[in-house]
Structure 1
Amino acid sequence: MVTIPNTGAIPINSHLPPKEQVITAPTTGALVLIRSPFYDCLDTFGTFPTQYIARPPEGFVNGYIKFAWGKDPQPGMITAEILPNGETVPMDLSPPIDSSNTPPMPAIPPYAALTPLVTDVGVKLETSPSPTNIADFTPSGMDYSGFSTPSLDSQGSSPISSNSIITYQNYQNCQNNPQMLPPQFGYQAKVDNRMDRRFWQFYIKNWCPGRSVLKKTNLWLTDFASMHEREGVRAAMQSLAGVYIFDYVPSPKISRRVNDLFRIAENRMTELLNDPEAAGDERKAQELITITTLLSMQDIVLTERRALKPDHPRWLLGFLEAENALQRIDPGTRFWNPDNIQMDSLRIAQSIMVGRAVILAQPLTPLISPQQLDPQKEASRFGWLLYGTEKEMYEIHGGCGFSKKLLHVVSQITYCAARLQQEPESPITPMTIQFLLDELQDMRQWSSESRSWDMAKKGDQTIVWVQQQPDGFTINTSADMTEVTAETWRIAVIVYLQCRGLRLPRYHPEVIANLDSLARCIRVMPTSGSNFTAQAPLFPVFLLGLLATVPMHKEVSRKWFSSVVRTPVRSSVPPLFEVLQRIWTWIDSDLPLDNKITPESVSERNHWWETLVSLVHDKEPETLCLT
C-alpha cells in the first residue's frame, strides 16, 4: 500500500477534485490507499509546544467550555436540582466569582465518575474515589470493563435512567442505607478504561454546553453524541475532549491516550474512505461525516498544529470530504419532488456543520476562476441546505446560530460574485444579487426556544429591539441571545453582499449604516457566562473590524475580541484576532479610501473585495478559519 499525499491546488470555492477514489497502481496492480487529511497528525499531539493554560484564580472556566475547579463541602460530592421537566441540573458549590458581569455557571467538575443516589432534596451525584490530578488517571488503574457511555434522550441530555428512579416508599425503606447502582447501569457502549470515562464526561458535561445556548439543536450533544456506540465516533469525541484537558493538566499519559484515540478515529475514517459500499450506504456515510467533522474541529482548535501554506488546511480538506459524502447521499437525487423530502435531525446537523465550515471559508478566499467556473454546478451546490418547509428553513439552529436558509444565501453571494467576474455584462447576475438583498432585508428567523415562527413573521426585525436598549445593556437570557445572534449574522451577510456582490466600497453610507447596526448588536452581547457559547457570531465581529472606517466600529470589534481571549480556554479566536490586528496595520495604506463616486452599473465598480482577499492571502501564512 502507498499513500496519496494531499498535494495540488484545492479550489475552496469549488468541489474537491475527484482524487478521492481507490485506484490501481499501473505497475503492481496493488490498490492505492486513500488516507484522510489527518493522517500526518498521528502521534503528534504533545510533541509541539503546548498552550498550557493556568487554572483561573476564581476556579471557573465559563467560555467555550464550562466547568469549575472549586472545592465541594464534602469531598467527591456535588448536588443536583431536579427541574419540573425532569432534567437534572448540577448545583455548583464552588466559591462565587467576584464579578457582576460573569455570573458563576452551574457546572460539574470535569473529572467526576458519576453514579446516582436519591435524597429528599433531589439527586446527589457521588463520585467514586479518584485522584485530584487527572495526570494520575491510568488505563490500568481499575477494572472499568463494565462501564458504558450514557444513552441520550430526545433532547440530547444524559438524564439518570428512568429505571433508576426510586419511589417514595422505597426511599423510606432505604433512607438509612442507600444502595448504589452498578457503574454500567442505564448505559450502552462499553468504555474499558478510566481515562476514557473522564474524557467522555468532559465532552458531555463541559464541552457540549459551551457549544450553543439552544438545547434542542445543540448537535454535538443531541445528534453526534447519540452515535457514541460507533467506536470511531466515540474515539473522536474523547480525543477532542482530551486536548482541552491537556491544556490545564499537561501529562504524557493524557497525550498518549489522546494520540491513541485519534488513531482509532483516523483509522476508521480511512477505512470508510476506502470502503466502496460507503458511497451508497447512508449509515456508513453518516459515520464518515461525523468522524470527519469531529477531527476537523480538533484541527481548528489545535491552532498550533494547523497546516501552513503551501499546504492546505486539514480542517477544510476534511469538511470538503464530508461535503462529497453529503452529496453522494443527497436525498434530492432520489426523489422527484424535493419539497417533500424530510430529513432527520442528524442529517440536518451534518448539513449545517459541513456547509458552515465550507461556505464561511469562501468570503476571504479567491473566487474560482472564470475559466473553471461551471455555473450550473456551482449554482446547485449546497442545495441540500434547502430541503423542508419555509418554516424549517428559517429556524435558527444551534450548530451555527442562524438559519440554514441564511447560510445558503452566503454561498449564493459568493457564486454571484464569481459569475459577475465571468460575465460582467450580463444583467442576470445583478438582478439576482438585488433579489438576495431584498430577501435578506425582509428575512425573519425564529427558534422554538425564543419565539414562534408566526410571531417572528408578524414582529419587527430584532435590530429594532436592540436599538431600543439603553447604553451598557447586556443580554441576560438565552432567548435574547439566540435572536440577537441570528440578527447579527443577517446584518453581516447584508454587508458581505453589499461589498462583494454589489461592490460597494466600505465607506459607502449604506455599508456604514449596516456596520453601525452590526456594532449595536455586538455591544449588547456577553463575552463570557452562561449565555456565551460557540454560537457567538465570530465572523460578523471579524467583519466589523475588517471593514471599519469609523473608529467606534473598530473599537467594538477590538473590545469583543479582547474580552473573549481573556477567558482561559482554547479556541480559534486568538489567532483570528492576531490576523485582524495585522490587517489593521496595512489595510488603509494598501487599500486606501478614495471616496470616488460609485458608478451606477455594478460591473463598472471596482471589485476591491477581491483585492482585499488577494492581500490577505499573500500576507497571512494560513487560510483563515472564520468559524
Structure 2
Amino acid sequence: MHMGDAVDDQIEQMDGSCLDEEQNQRAVKRVKVEDPRSGVREGRAVAAFSPPEFSSSSPTSPHRPPPSHLSKRARYPLPPPPPQPSQPPGEFGVVDQQTLFNSTLVSPFKDCVGSFGNACHRRYFRPLNGKINGYIKVNFASDTPSRRESLAAGSSVSQSPQATELSVRAVEDDSPTSSLVPFRQPSVSSTVTLALSPELDPNVDFSAYLSGPAVSCGFEMLDAAPTSPTVRTDNSCEVTLMGAPRKVPQLFGLEAYMDQTDRKLFTFYIRNWCPGRSVLADTNLWLKDFAQMHKSEGVLAAIQSLAGIYIYDYKPIDSVRKRVNERFFEAELRLSRLLNDPSTMRNEALANELITIAVLLSMQDIVLTERRLQKPYDPRWLAGFKQSELFLQATDQGSRFWNPTNAQLSSLRVSQSVIVGRAMILAQPMMKLPPAETFDPEYETSRFGWLLYGTERDMYQIHGGCGFSKKLLHIFSQITYCAARLQQDPMSVVVPTTSQYLHAELLQMRQWSSESKKGEAAKVGLSVTEWARSVPVDYVVSSSADMTDVTAEAWRLAAIIYLQCRVWRLPRNHPAVLASLSDLARCIQIMPTSGYHFTAQAPLFPVFLLGLLSIDPELRNVSKTWFDEVVSTPVRSSVPPLYEALQRMWQWIDVFVPPPLPTETPLEPIGLRCPWWEQVVHEVDRREDEVLCLT
C-alpha cells in the first residue's frame, strides 16, 4: 500500500469510540552501593557531577499517597497536579547529599501528572511535501524532496530500509486557521494485502521494522476485515494469492493487554518514532530493548504516553490528551513504587524496569520543552537519569574489559548504561565544576565504570543509543574529571600526564559498527577524518555505514576539542584547536539534516561546540546552517531551545571571553593558564533560565 493514506482518519478513531470500550483491569506487576559522602555541593547546576542523591520530597511537589484505583487503567480526568512550591527547595547553589538509607526516593515526574495538553492547540502543521523525515518518520504525501535530504535508492520515505511509516490520508482540517493544503489520495493496488502490525507478529521481534522492507502501518489496518482470498485461474500462474490471514487474535504475540487506542500508540512508537532514533538497527535500544519490555505495565504506559505526545502535536484532540495523561500517570505511579521498594536495589529485573521507565519519562521531559523546569529547580530529565545512575551502580556486577569475569550482561543492561551515561556525562561540559573543597577524586575516578563492561573490542563499537562508542563516552567523563581535579590542585602532575594519555587514546581511536568496518578492519586504511577531507565539497552522506562512521568521528573530534579547551585551557584561536574545529566542521558539512539517514543519532553536542567555539565565521556558519535546517522540520525535539541558547551566547562570548593575541604563548604548567571555559560556563549559568540539554 502507498504510504499516503492519513493520520487524521486513523487518529480520529481515537476520539471517543475507542475510549468507550470496556477496559480490562490490568494488575500492576510487581546495590552494594557506596554511600555518597555528606557535604555541600555548589549549585543545582552541578547535579551531574555529584553522586546520586535523594530528597525527602520532590523539587516541585510534596509526596502524595498512591490512589486506591491502582490496578485499573485510569478512565476519568486525572486530578490536577499539586501546586508549585512558592519557594525553591533550599538555597539555590547548594545541594545537600543525603545517604541512601535516610531518605525517601521521590519521582521527579510526580508534579507532571495530568498536566499534558492544557494548552489545546496544534503545535505543528504538516510540511507541504507531506513528509516528516527527521526525528520521526511519517509520510503524509511524497512530492518534493528536501534540499539536503539524504540520498539513497529512491527518495521516498516509504522505500527506506530503516523506516516503516504510518500511512496517512489527508482530510479536511478541523482548524479554521489551518494552512494545510489538501493532499491527493493515492490509488491502492488490488494486490495489496493486510500489512503486518506488531500484534500479528508471534515473535514480537521489533527490530525487523528497521531491517526489513517498509510496510504500511496505517492505524485503520489494525482492525481491517480480512479480504477474500484471490485465486487466479490462469494456468501460467504458479503462485496462488491467498489474501490476508484470517481470524488472528487481536493480542496474538503480545504479552500485555492493549485496547484499540493503546495499540495505535504502541504502533506509532514502533514504526514511526523508533526509526528516527538511530540508523543502527542492532543497537537501536528504543526498539531492540525497551519495546521488548512491553509486558511491564509501567514501561508500556511510558511508551504509549511518549507516542501520544507526538501525535497530539499534529492532531490535538481531547481523547489523545486524556490517554497521554492516563498512561503517564500509570508509568509515574509504577516508577514511584519501584523507587520505594527496598528489593529494587537487590533485584536486577526490578532495577531494569525502574531504569527503563525513568529513561522514557526523562525523554518526555527532554522533548516537552514547554514543560521543563527552570532554575533554581533541577531539570526533571536530569533527576530521572541521576536516579537511573544510582540503580545502575547498585546492580553493577563489576565486570570490566581489562578484568573479565563470568558476568553476562544483557543487551538491555548495556543499552541502559549507554543512554544513562550519555545524559549524565554530556550534561557536564556546560555545568560548573564541583568546588575544590568538596570534590571527591576517589568517587569520581570510579564513576561510570559500568560503561566499561565487555571485551576491549566491544569498547570501540559504535552504539545506536549515543552514536559513538562506550569507550569514547567514558573518556568524556574522564576529561571532565581532569578539569575538576586541576581546579582542585592547579600544580598537579597527575592531570597533565593523564590528559596526555587521553589525548593519545583519542588520536589513534578507530570506532567500528555492524554497518561498516568491524574490529581490526576499522584500523586499516584512511581515517574517517582523512576520508571526509577527500570527498567533493558538495558531497552528502548517502549510506547508513558512512553516516554512522562520520557521526562517531564528529564525537571523537569533539572530545579532542573539549580536552584541549577545558583541561589544557588552550584558547579558541590556538592552532591545535583551530585544526580540530576545521575537521569537525568538515564532518558536519557532509551530513544530511533530513532523510532516513538522519536520526537522533546526529551529533548535537559537536555541532553546538563548533558553533560556540569557532572564531572563523565560515566555521560558525556550518553550525548555524545545520541548526537552521534541522529546526525547519516540524517535529518536536530538544534542538530548538539549544539553538536559541547558542544564538544568545553568540551575542556575548567574544566580549566576555575574548581570545588572546596569537603571539601569546600558553603558560606552563597548565594549571597556571586562564580557565576560560569555566568563565563561559559561569556566564551560561548566570544568563540562561534552565540547564542546557545537550542530548
Q: TM-score range by the shorter chain?
A: 0.7 to 0.9
Which runs of structure 2 are paired with 1:494-533 in the superposition (5 Å)?
494-533=560-599
User: Identity, % of aligned pairs?
Assistant: 51
Query: Is this contact kept in 2: 1:409–1:436, CA < 8 A?
Result: yes
The structural deviation recorded for 1:97 is 3.8
Q: Over the residues paired in the alignment, what is the CA RMSD in angstroms?
A: 3.1
Show the counterpart of 1:490.
556
- The alignment partner of 2:423 has SS state of helix
- Indicate the structure whose relative CO is greater, using CA pairs within 8 Å and at least 6 residues apart: 2
1:598 aligns with 2:598: no
Which runs of structure 2 are paired with 1:95-244 in the superposition (5 Å)?
95=143, 97=145, 101=149, 103-106=155-158, 108=164, 110=166, 124-126=193-195, 151-153=203-205, 155=207, 157=209, 175=241, 179-184=245-250, 186-244=252-310
Q: Residues 52 and 605 from structure 1, CA distance in 2 versus in 1: closer, same or farther, beyond 3 angstroms?
A: same
- Opposite residue 53 of structure 1, the aligned amino acid is Y
2:362, 2:148 → 1: CA distance? Answer: 36
Match of residue 48, structure 2, among 5, 8, 12: 12
1:531, 1:335 → 2: CA distance? Answer: 31
Query: Is this contact kept in 1: 2:302–2:327, CA < 8 A?
Result: yes
- Opposite residue 623 of structure 1, the aligned amino acid is V
- The alignment partner of 2:166 has SS state of coil
Show the counterpart of 1:536.
602
**Number of residue pairs aligned between Structure 1 and Structure 2:** 562
Show the counterpart of 1:41.
112
- The alignment partner of 2:193 has SS state of strand
| Bigger mean CA offset, 443-452 vs 202-211 | 443-452
1:368 aligns with 2:434: yes
Query: Is this contact kept in 2: 1:156–1:226, CA < 8 A?
Result: no
2:191, 2:667 → 1: CA distance? Answer: 69
Query: Is this contact kept in 2: 1:21–1:274, CA < 8 A?
Result: no
Residue deviations 1:284-329 (CA, integer Å, cap 9, x gap) = 0000000000000000000000000011100000000000000000
Show the counterpart of 2:71.
none
Show the counterpart of 1:250.
316
Residue deviations 1:154-173 (CA, integer Å, cap 9, x gap) = 8464989xxx9x9x99x989
Q: Residues 97 and 281 from structure 1, CA distance in 2 versus in 1: closer, same or farther, beyond 3 angstroms?
A: same
Q: Residues 432 and 195 from structure 1, CA distance in 2 versus in 1: closer, same or farther, beyond 3 angstroms?
A: same
- Opposite residue 326 of structure 2, the aligned amino acid is D
Show the counterpart of 1:324.
390
2:268, 2:658 → 1: CA distance? Answer: 48
Query: Is this contact kept in 1: 2:400–2:454, CA < 8 A?
Result: no
Query: Is this contact kept in 2: 1:156–1:222, CA < 8 A?
Result: no
Q: Residues 173 and 611 from structure 1, CA distance in 2 versus in 1: closer, same or farther, beyond 3 angstroms?
A: closer
Show the counterpart of 1:261.
327
Q: Residues 51 and 574 from structure 1, CA distance in 2 versus in 1: closer, same or farther, beyond 3 angstroms?
A: farther
The structural deviation recorded for 1:181 is 3.9
Instruction: Name stretches of at least 5 consecutive residues in structure 2 with no aligned partner.
Output: 1-41, 59-101, 169-188, 214-225
1:258, 1:122 → 2: CA distance? Answer: 37
Match of residue 60, structure 1, among 123, 131, 146: 131
Show the counterpart of 1:347.
413
Query: Is this contact kept in 2: 1:11–1:368, CA < 8 A?
Result: no
Query: Is this contact kept in 2: 1:365–1:617, CA < 8 A?
Result: yes
Query: Is this contact kept in 1: 2:418–2:466, CA < 8 A?
Result: yes
- The alignment partner of 1:612 has SS state of helix
Query: Is this contact kept in 2: 1:65–1:210, CA < 8 A?
Result: yes
- The alignment partner of 1:360 has SS state of helix
Which runs of structure 2 are paired with 1:386-405 in the superposition (5 Å)?
386-405=452-471
1:313 aligns with 2:379: yes
- Opposite residue 612 of structure 1, the aligned amino acid is V
- The alignment partner of 2:468 has SS state of coil
Show the counterpart of 1:88.
none
2:122, 2:51 → 1: CA distance? Answer: 34
Show the counterpart of 2:688.
620
1:503, 1:46 → 2: CA distance? Answer: 46
2:360, 2:307 → 1: CA distance? Answer: 11
- The alignment partner of 1:188 has SS state of coil
- Opposite residue 47 of structure 2, the aligned amino acid is P
Show the counterpart of 1:292.
358
1:574, 1:410 → 2: CA distance? Answer: 24
Q: Residues 149 and 583 from structure 1, CA distance in 2 versus in 1: closer, same or farther, beyond 3 angstroms?
A: farther
The structural deviation recorded for 1:445 is 0.3
Query: Is this contact kept in 1: 2:400–2:452, CA < 8 A?
Result: no
Q: Residues 96 and 330 from structure 1, CA distance in 2 versus in 1: closer, same or farther, beyond 3 angstroms?
A: same
Q: Residues 599 and 150 from structure 1, CA distance in 2 versus in 1: closer, same or farther, beyond 3 angstroms?
A: farther
- The alignment's TM-score, normalised by the length of structure 1, stands at 0.84
Show the counterpart of 1:138.
none
| Bigger mean CA offset, 399-408 vs 459-468 | 459-468
Residue deviations 1:566-591 (CA, integer Å, cap 9, x gap) = 11111111111100000000111111
The structural deviation recorded for 1:34 is 3.6
Query: Is this contact kept in 2: 1:341–1:388, CA < 8 A?
Result: no
1:430 aligns with 2:526: no
Residue deviations 1:35-55 (CA, integer Å, cap 9, x gap) = 300001000101147561001
- The alignment partner of 2:254 has SS state of strand
2:638, 2:548 → 1: CA distance? Answer: 21
The structural deviation recorded for 1:150 is 7.2
Residue deviations 1:224-259 (CA, integer Å, cap 9, x gap) = 111011010011011001000000001111111100
- The alignment partner of 1:479 has SS state of helix
Query: Is this contact kept in 1: 2:56–2:103, CA < 8 A?
Result: no
2:244, 2:133 → 1: CA distance? Answer: 34
Q: Residues 213 and 154 from structure 1, CA distance in 2 versus in 1: closer, same or farther, beyond 3 angstroms?
A: same
1:278 aligns with 2:344: yes
Q: Residues 486 and 433 from structure 1, CA distance in 2 versus in 1: closer, same or farther, beyond 3 angstroms?
A: same
1:529, 1:323 → 2: CA distance? Answer: 33
Q: Residues 387 and 339 from structure 1, CA distance in 2 versus in 1: closer, same or farther, beyond 3 angstroms?
A: farther
Query: Is this contact kept in 2: 1:148–1:190, CA < 8 A?
Result: no
- The alignment partner of 1:67 has SS state of strand
Query: Is this contact kept in 1: 2:369–2:641, CA < 8 A?
Result: yes
| Bigger mean CA offset, 171-180 vs 202-211 | 171-180
Query: Is this contact kept in 1: 2:123–2:314, CA < 8 A?
Result: yes
The structural deviation recorded for 1:479 is 0.3
- The alignment partner of 2:255 has SS state of strand
The structural deviation recorded for 1:186 is 4.0
The structural deviation recorded for 1:59 is 1.1
Show the counterpart of 2:422.
356
1:224, 1:303 → 2: CA distance? Answer: 23
Residue deviations 1:11-41 (CA, integer Å, cap 9, x gap) = 321212254799xxxxxxxx98643000010
1:109, 1:537 → 2: CA distance? Answer: 24
- The alignment partner of 1:510 has SS state of helix
| Bigger mean CA offset, 335-344 vs 289-298 | 335-344
- The alignment partner of 2:132 has SS state of strand
Residue deviations 1:250-282 (CA, integer Å, cap 9, x gap) = 111111110000001000000000101000100
- The alignment partner of 2:596 has SS state of coil
- Opposite residue 687 of structure 2, the aligned amino acid is K
Instruction: Name stretches of at least 5 consecutive residues in structure 1 with no aligned partner.
Output: 1-6, 23-30, 71-93, 113-119, 129-145
